[in-house]
Amino acid sequence: MLSLDGPLNVHQANIKIGQIRMRTLGYVLLILSMALVQIACDSSGSESAEGADMQNSVDSGNPTDVELDMQIDMEPDPAPDLDVSQNSVSLVGLAGMPSAPETLTLSNVGDAPLTIESLTVQPQREAQYFEITGLGETPRILEPGTSLELEIVYLAPDAATHEATLTMSSDDPNAMSYPVQLIGRVAQNCINARPSSVDVGSVDAGIRSGQFEFTIINCGDTVRTISTIVLDGDEDFSWSSRSGTELAGTVLERGDSLSLTIQYTNNRLIPNEVATGRLFISFREMDSESLSIPLRARGGSGQRCLIRAEPGNLDFEIVRISRQRALDVVVTNHGTGPCDLRDVAVEQTAGEEANAFTISQSIELGMMPPMTSRTLSLTYAPTIPNPVGERGVLTVAYFDEFANMNRSEEVLLRGSGARAMVGSIPDVVDFDETTSGTCASRQGRIGAENVGFVPICAYSYALSGEDCAQFELLETPDFGDCLSLERGESAAFLVQFEPTATGRQNCEINVTTDAQNTDVVTLRITGTGTETDARVDEYEVGRLNPERDARWSLRLAAVPATVQVFVDDELYAQDRPLQPCEENCVAYEADENRIVFEPDHHPPRGATIRIEYDAQCFDRIEN
């Protein structure tokens, strides 16, 4: 026979009723009707009171005044789950002028209230350059399915780049400390075309030239929106977009590029006669200038030389500091006559000089027959972290004997160097109080997480500390020769505290990696062994919303029948379905593991709430 004391909760347990011993059918209908009314009331609970200090709640059961024979299949305990819209926030301002605010959304995607304890920005010398609003008073409670928006502003005190880490501390058991990288810098205005002019070379009479590609690059920080693209000059020039779509209204964000192609049809040029034109590209933004790309074509006499280097954009992406990445460029003579290769060179146009692009394998210079190819290799080897990245241009210079002119083909280069970083997420797992010798704590997860931008390897782990025998590792990573971790991935451990002694117990899990900020990251786990199951939580009453319920969560999962609530040492009566309370009333919601004061029974501001209860005892792992 199982006796439950409190409101029924059909959301947390599926109850199969075996035999219900009642004396009369009328009594059965009465009890069931009252239970359904209580369920409907509990399901429509309002939001937490402002200023209430709430923590992780754990299901503990559903009391009722009726004794039932039941079989209970328990679902997983409800828990909060913090979801953050982005792990890195980049803000751009003008020197001496703040940036536009960037929104960071914090959501509770779990099934229990989430308590956000605090926001911190480190290091302190960088924190002064970032303003964060939107959290309000702490602790801040987010009900399941709700979210809040933080606004982050960079004050842009100077032309330097400033970086900091915003850390959110909450009672999410899987992310008690959630870091977000903040990067602030000064805006740059830049838009150009590569190459800056297009020469289609020699085009025989009645022939259409090949497609000569050039790229519009937004190399600055401000958005550019294409307004018009207009051709001026010789009408036999034509242009098209790579995508084949209408380009008016196309938005180029920072770093975006757009490829266009130019062709010329020789309807009238005699050999060596020159045709010129110009392509104008205007933008809608008031502070932007139009791009003007000169165009040129010459009447051909049969043979021609045409060099193309592919790909036209070479992106090395993010490379770990002190390592390198090599990529190939294929140089092809698409003409019908030979080309005289004169030089191959790399010029760095932006970024750290120490993070250079180099030619690791060049190509043979001299005469290149038509329809042949040669392959060269370029290497990017960053030595200094640079979140903005490097830019460069590979130039293949050649002489076109048919046009009697020096020409060149360009490839745009880009890359970024970053340090390999590892950290403990969360910083520490504290299992709080657990009864020594008989009980185990709730389970907690902690991991060595890749907090950088490049992959790292985790190799092994070791425990250190005299109290490590008090903790059980329920799950450990499979390291093998190298457990590869991409950004945001972790080598995670599932841990349970099973004390055999009283007092504070500490242990460290040391994970070895090849990260560059530290080769060993320490994961700290701690807990307190106690002699009894008795627990006491205390809160000071702040300002309450007089129209809403005031709620406080219990620190640990409680045995419902043992919960007692005192306000300034006065015991409050618990409001029960069959025992309504008239004065100094409080309710304990077992499914949410919290106490609730209705507006008419709010404790006075400044009062001390003391909650006494016996903590639930979780099963220990049998050795």
Domain ranges of the chain: 2-77+533-614, 197-217+237-417, 452-528
Evaluate if residue 520 carries a pLDDT over 90. yes
Average pLDDT for residues 297-322, to the nearest whole number?
85
Evaluate if residue 424 carries a pLDDT over 60. yes
pLDDT reported for residue 90? 87
Write out the two tokens for 86: 């982005």
Higher per-residue confidence, 332 vs 17: 332
Residue 85 β-bridge partners = none
Can the peptide bond before residue 7 be classed as cis, meaning omega within 30 degrees of 0? no
Cβ-Cβ contacts under 8 Å for 530 (sequence gap 6 or more)? 433, 434, 435, 436, 502
Q: Which has the minimum average pLDDT: 30-34, 233-237, 347-351, 353-357? A: 30-34
Can the peptide bond before residue 294 be classed as cis, meaning omega within 30 degrees of 0? no
Summarised one tens digit per residue, pLDDT across range 565-621 is: 999 999 988 766 656 677 888 999 999 999 999 998 999 999 999 999 999 999 998
Write out the two tokens for 548: 């809403």
Name the residue among 7, 4, 12, 40 with its Cα closest to residue 144. Answer: 12
Q: Cα separations (Å) of 455 from 4, 174, 178, 414, 520?
A: 52, 22, 20, 19, 16
How would you class 1 by CB atoms within 10 Å of its CB: exposed for 0-12, middle for 13-18, buried for 19 or more? Answer: exposed
pTM (two decimals): 0.48
Evaluate if residue 210 carries a pLDDT over 80. yes
How far apart CA 53 and CA 609 sit, in angstroms, is 11
Tell me how crowded residue 301 is: count the other CB atoms within 10 A of its CB. Answer: 13
Residues above pLDDT 70, as percent of the chain: 86
How far apart CA 327 and CA 229 sit, in angstroms, is 34
Q: What length is written for the chain?
A: 623
Summarised one tens digit per residue, pLDDT across range 217-271 is: 998 878 889 999 999 999 999 998 877 778 888 999 888 888 899 999 877 776 7
Judge whether 306 and 210 are in contact, CB under 8 Å: yes
Q: Cα separations (Å) of 160 from 187, 415, 621?
A: 11, 20, 54
Name the residue among 607, 589, 610 with its Cα closest to residue 78. Answer: 589
Which CATH architecture group holds 197-217+237-417?
Answer: Sandwich (2.60)
Residues above pLDDT 90, as percent of the chain: 60
